[in-house]
């Protein structure tokens, strides 16, 4: 009587097992990504609830980044993510970073507060983005003393400092969610005006809108969407809105529909151009999750109608007052 398996039988068995694994692995990966995408969607829903609680308390939504125009700072600005902290059960962190007492540049000059700026907030991070927990989106937020850092040619995990291959500065936590600035954009820094800084979306610089300022309807207006580390990393803390460079620093907390979803990744010389760095993006296949001003969340395909002249469905959704009421899309 023969015992055991022949070599041929063993090879056939291994081949069958290999085929089963090859069939199962993609299915398992797809199921895991579906779960991550659902978690990402839930994060945005919670942010939407916080935005509405904020509106109930303040009669407006938070500003995209709250400028402190004193002492020539031109807005070393706390971002809307910071302003929402007390409404996301993050009261302790809100107090620890000192938002209620000092402008952002003075906080980042205080090394004792660095750990708080590195706090990873689960609701601000998409589980599909595995690009790290600390963000450096090319430009500095704040450098001690109020100066700016140059553009390093690679994504480096720091905020501030001197760029290059040996950066110094403040490591801070990333965020995968950026507020909707609308569809407005100008690539040349000299062309930016106060009108442009305000944007035509839900968020702008140093000002806040209420429900009555959204004539297109909250269910037809984007509030926020995703930004992945593959493009231009976002943060929840805030920005260094350096006067004269338009939207370039604002990309750290806001995004524009001037460019398509998942547009080309950033190049070395993004400066104020913004293509691939000012847009919405995600690691989800085929599009990104978006929060609407009514608190609902939808996954929008990267193939949604987009017009380079600014009149596509995607741009219409980003604008709060263009008079274009979008139904199904």
Q: For residue range 256-307, what is the model confidence (pLDDT) as tens digits? A: 898 899 886 554 444 445 566 688 999 998 999 999 999 999 999 999 999 8
- Predicted confidence band at 72 (pLDDT cuts at 50, 70, 90)? very low
33-45 residue pLDDT tens:
889 999 999 999 9
Q: For residue 86, what pLDDT band results from cuts at 50, 70 and 90? A: very high
State the Cα–Cα distance between residues 72 and 56, nearest whole angstrom: 33
Average pLDDT over residues 238-264: 71
| Non-local CB neighbours of 157 within 8 Å, separated by 6+ positions | 132, 134, 135, 136, 171
Residues with Cβ within 8 Å of residue 5, at least 6 apart in sequence = 13
Q: Mean pLDDT throughout 299-320?
A: 89
Q: What is the mean pLDDT of residues 94-119?
A: 73
pLDDT-wise least confident of 6-15, 91-100, 104-113, 123-132? 104-113
Contact residues for 235 (Cβ-Cβ < 8 A; gap 6+): 79, 81, 135, 137, 141, 159, 172, 173, 174, 175, 252, 253
Give the pLDDT band of residue 143 (cuts 50, 70, 90).
Answer: very low
| Predicted TM-score (pTM) above 0.85 | no
* CB of 160 closer than 8 Å to CB of 141: yes
Q: Quick one: pLDDT band at residue 77, thresholds 50, 70, 90?
A: confident
Residue 32 has pLDDT above 80, yes or no: yes
Is 147 a residue whose pLDDT tops 80? no
Q: How far is CA 88 from the centre of its chain?
A: 17
Q: Rounded to whole angstroms, how far apart are CA atoms 74 and 137?
A: 20
How much is the average pLDDT of 64-85?
A: 72
* Average pLDDT of every residue of the chain: 76
Backbone angles phi, psi at 221, to 5 degrees: -130, 125
Cβ neighbours of residue 307 closer than 8 Å, sequence gap 6 or more: 315
In sequence order, which ranges of the chain are alpha helices (DSSP H)? 7-58, 80-83, 91-96, 104-108, 114-117, 194-198, 313-318
């Amino acid at each position: 009587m023969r015992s055991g398996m022949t070599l041929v039988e063993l090879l056939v068995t291994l081949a069958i097992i290999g085929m089963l694994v090859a069939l199962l692995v993609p299915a398992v990966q797809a199921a895991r990504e579906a779960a991550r995408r659902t978690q990402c969607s839930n994060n945005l829903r919670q942010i939407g609830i916080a935005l509405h609680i904020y509106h109930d308390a303040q009669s407006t939504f938070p500003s995209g980044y709250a400028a402190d125009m004193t002492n020539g700072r031109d807005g070393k600005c706390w971002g809307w993510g910071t302003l929402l902290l007390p409404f996301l059960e993050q009261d302790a962190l809100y107090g620890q970073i000192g938002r209620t007492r000092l402008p952002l540049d003075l906080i980042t000059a205080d090394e004792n507060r660095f750990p708080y700026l590195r706090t990873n907030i689960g609701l601000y991070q998409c589980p599909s983005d595995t690009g790290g927990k600390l963000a450096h989106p090319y430009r500095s937020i704040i450098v001690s003393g109020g100066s700016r850092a140059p553009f390093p040619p690679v994504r480096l995990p720091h905020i501030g400092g001197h760029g290059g291959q040996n950066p110094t500065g403040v490591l801070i936590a990333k965020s995968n969610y950026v507020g909707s600035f609308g569809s407005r954009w100008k690539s040349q820094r000299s062309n930016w005006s106060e009108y442009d800084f305000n944007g035509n979306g839900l968020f702008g610089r140093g000002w806040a809108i209420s429900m009555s300022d959204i004539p297109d309807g909250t269910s037809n207006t984007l509030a926020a969407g995703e930004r992945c580390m593959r493009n231009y990393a976002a943060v929840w803390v805030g920005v260094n809105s350096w006067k004269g460079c338009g939207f370039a620093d604002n990309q750290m907390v806001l995004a524009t529909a001037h460019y398509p979803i998942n547009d080309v990744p950033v190049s070395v010389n993004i400066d104020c151009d913004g293509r691939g760095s000012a847009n919405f993006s995600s690691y989800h296949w085929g599009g990104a999750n978006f929060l609407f001003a009514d608190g609902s969340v939808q996954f929008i395909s990267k193939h949604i109608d987009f017009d380079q002249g600014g009149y596509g469905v995607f741009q219409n959704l980003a604008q709060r007052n263009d008079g274009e009421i979008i139904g199904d899309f």
